């Protein structure tokens, strides 16, 4: 790693923070620590490449912190939690989280998730597109150079995952992408059946931000039994 990337970890358990700090430090990352969600918000800067949030924390929970951070930052967020139900996962993704790791977890699994999220974040922020490369559909404009999305000239703030899903569909108009196609293209990881809900939650969040009515299917069309497309 030529330049140290910064990871912000928020957990009220001192031992967990210390273990993660040592683990990530040994991999060449710079680590910022917070004991709750409020402190994580206060310590957040544009230089942070990844945020790791424990869900259950005093003062501000990980979910509350994620909601607040998403008002300003698109930095990937990894949730750490002892809760493993689908309802808890949906709550995390709906708040703007990008991934979910259940405690107890192996160090190798944590490092794998961290590296994958940062890799996507770097790819997302470093433009290899020609200048002024813009995609239009209906009243939506996607500026690939600046990685910004506008609806009728009003900017829509998307997370990294939401942006990548929208770009994938908009850059391949009329092509139907199955949930498996979307997951493997955006997450760049092998698809498992459990990934289905993850994709659908992110698309639901994206459609909500685009004000895309499920009944009208104005922007992202749901092709039943096959997947999604943009015309």
Domain boundaries, the chain: 6-125, 134-229
Which is it for strands 140-143 and 148-151: parallel, antiparallel or unpaired? Answer: antiparallel
Instruction: Say yes or no to pLDDT of 53 above 70.
Output: yes
Q: Which residues contact 149 (CB under 8 A, 6 or more apart)?
A: 140, 141, 142, 143, 155, 156, 158, 163, 166
The per-residue pLDDT for 216 is 64
Give mean pLDDT, residues 20-38: 94
The tens digit of pLDDT for each residue in 11-23 reads 999 999 999 999 9
The predicted model scores a pTM of 0.62
Statement: 134-229 belongs to CATH 1.10.10.10: yes
Instruction: Examine the pLDDT at 127 and tell me if it is beyond 50.
Output: no
The pLDDT score that the predictor gives to residue 38 is 94
Asked whether this chain's domains 6-125 and 134-229 adopt the same fold, the reply is: no
Residue 109 CB-density burial (10 A; 0-12 exposed, 13-18 middle, 19+ buried)? exposed
- Which CATH number is 6-125 given? 3.40.50.2300
- Cβ-Cβ contacts under 8 Å for 72 (sequence gap 6 or more): none
* pLDDT tens for each residue of 174-231: 889 999 999 988 888 888 887 888 898 999 899 889 886 656 668 888 888 889 999 8
| Residue with more model confidence, 227 or 74 | 227
């Amino acid at each position: 790693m030529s330049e140290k990337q910064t990871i912000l970890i928020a957990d009220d358990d001192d031992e967990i923070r210390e273990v993660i700090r040592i683990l990530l430090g040994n991999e060449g990352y710079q680590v910022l620590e917070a004991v709750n969600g409020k402190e994580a918000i206060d310590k957040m800067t544009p230089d942070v490449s990844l945020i790791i949030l424990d869900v259950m924390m005093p003062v501000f929970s990980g979910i509350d912190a994620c909601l607040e951070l998403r008002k300003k930052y698109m930095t990937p967020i990894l949730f750490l939690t002892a809760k493993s139900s689908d309802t808890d996962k949906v709550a995390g993704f709906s708040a703007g989280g990008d991934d979910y790791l259940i405690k107890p977890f192996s160090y190798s699994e944590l490092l794998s998730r961290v590296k994958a999220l940062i890799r996507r974040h770097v790819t997302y922020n470093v433009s290899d597109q020609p200048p002024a490369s813009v995609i239009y559909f209906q009243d939506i404009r996607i500026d690939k150079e600046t990685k910004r999305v506008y609806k009728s000239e009003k900017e829509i703030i998307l997370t990294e995952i939401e942006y990548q899903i929208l770009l994938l569909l908009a850059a391949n108009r009329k092509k139907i992408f199955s949930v498996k196609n979307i997951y493997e293209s955006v997450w760049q990881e092998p698809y498992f059946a459990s990934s289905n809900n993850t994709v659908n939650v992110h698309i639901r969040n994206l459609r909500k931000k685009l004000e895309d009515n499920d009944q009208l299917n104005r922007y992202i069309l749901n092709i039943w039994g096959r997947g999604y497309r943009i015309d």
